[in-house]
Amino acid sequence: MRTARLTSPTPTPTWPGAPGGADPVVLVAHGSRDPRAAEATRALARAVSAARPGLPVRASWLDHTEPGPTEVLRELAVAGHRRAVLVPLLLTAAYHHRVDIPAAVAAAAQAGPPLAVRVTDVLGPADGRVDPALLAGLCRRLGESHPGRFDALVLAAAGTRDARARGSVGRVAKALGAEFAVTCRVSYASAAPPATGVAVSALRRAGARRVAVSGYFLAPGLFHDAVTEEARAAGAVAVSAPLNDASELVELVLRRVDDRSDRRFLRSAG
């Protein structure tokens, strides 16, 4: 259990080199009109590739930014690859994971050489378990925000109408609160209440004097900007940055790549 004083970042993990001919990895982000989000995804792709030399890593986006995952998968097939691993850069298994990503894989099957695509779990809780690397990354970003001591937390997420997805956000909040031995409440930037400012204000009314906000985001953008503004206006002592290319996020991506336990995610293109 951590105390409620934030610590310095943990060392960057090292990784063994990947064997020659490793299956390429396609990272699939949601996409945003904010160019900072796309650059954060590219930075993560570079970091994953650097962490495991010899592993081909491509970035793609479901919306707003090119290329999309269908285009990347087709390019890989044409280049002679017969297998690929697709990692959804999503924190909840909601609509984009259930519908958009399978549709992109299916579209890649309509033309070109065959390509077997293994789609991994999202980066948020899988099978009800919060990955230690995700939790460590959130703790790192809180530590970097330097709020000093705090007595309550708000986990600020993008938001979803999917009840199961909101449940997974709640599990992360519970784990983060236990890590620091403080109350941690959930808030959302859209689609579901409460808003971040409301959550911060409620904790302060309940007696918390120093409330910190953990940004549950993979990349910067309008949602994180709005959460930051609301939190500051409500009196939060700090708001952590998105995970971006944190070493813990790189570790989590590679863990998803290596996890072959669920064969249901195998789909064949071609």
Q: What is the CATH number of the domain that holds 187?
A: 3.40.50.1400
For the chain, how many structural domains are there in total?
Answer: 2
Question: Looking at the domain assignment, is residue 14 inside a domain?
Answer: no
When pLDDT is cut at 50, 70 and 90, the band that residue 79 belongs to is very high
When pLDDT is cut at 50, 70 and 90, the band that residue 155 belongs to is very high
Pair (252, 230) in one structural domain: no
When pLDDT is cut at 50, 70 and 90, the band that residue 261 belongs to is low
* Residue 146: per-residue pLDDT: 78
* Residue 162: per-residue pLDDT: 83
Pair (157, 200) in one structural domain: yes
What residue numbers bound the domain in which 100 lies?
25-125+247-269
Q: What percent of the chain has pLDDT over 90?
A: 73
| Distance of alpha carbon 143 from alpha carbon 248, whole angstroms | 14
Question: Looking at the domain assignment, is residue 10 inside a domain?
Answer: no
Inter-residue long-range contacts of 111-114, CB under 8 Å, 24+ positions, other chains counted: 111/74, 112/74, 112/77, 112/78, 112/269, 112/270, 113/77, 113/78, 113/80, 113/82, 113/270, 114/77, 114/82, 114/268, 114/269, 114/270
Amino acid at 166: R
Q: What is the mean pLDDT of residues 131-140?
A: 97
* Residue 22: per-residue pLDDT: 87
Pair (75, 143) in one structural domain: no
CA 135 vs CA 32, 113, 173, 207: distances in Å? 24, 40, 10, 26
- SS3 label, residue 184: strand
Pair (111, 46) in one structural domain: yes
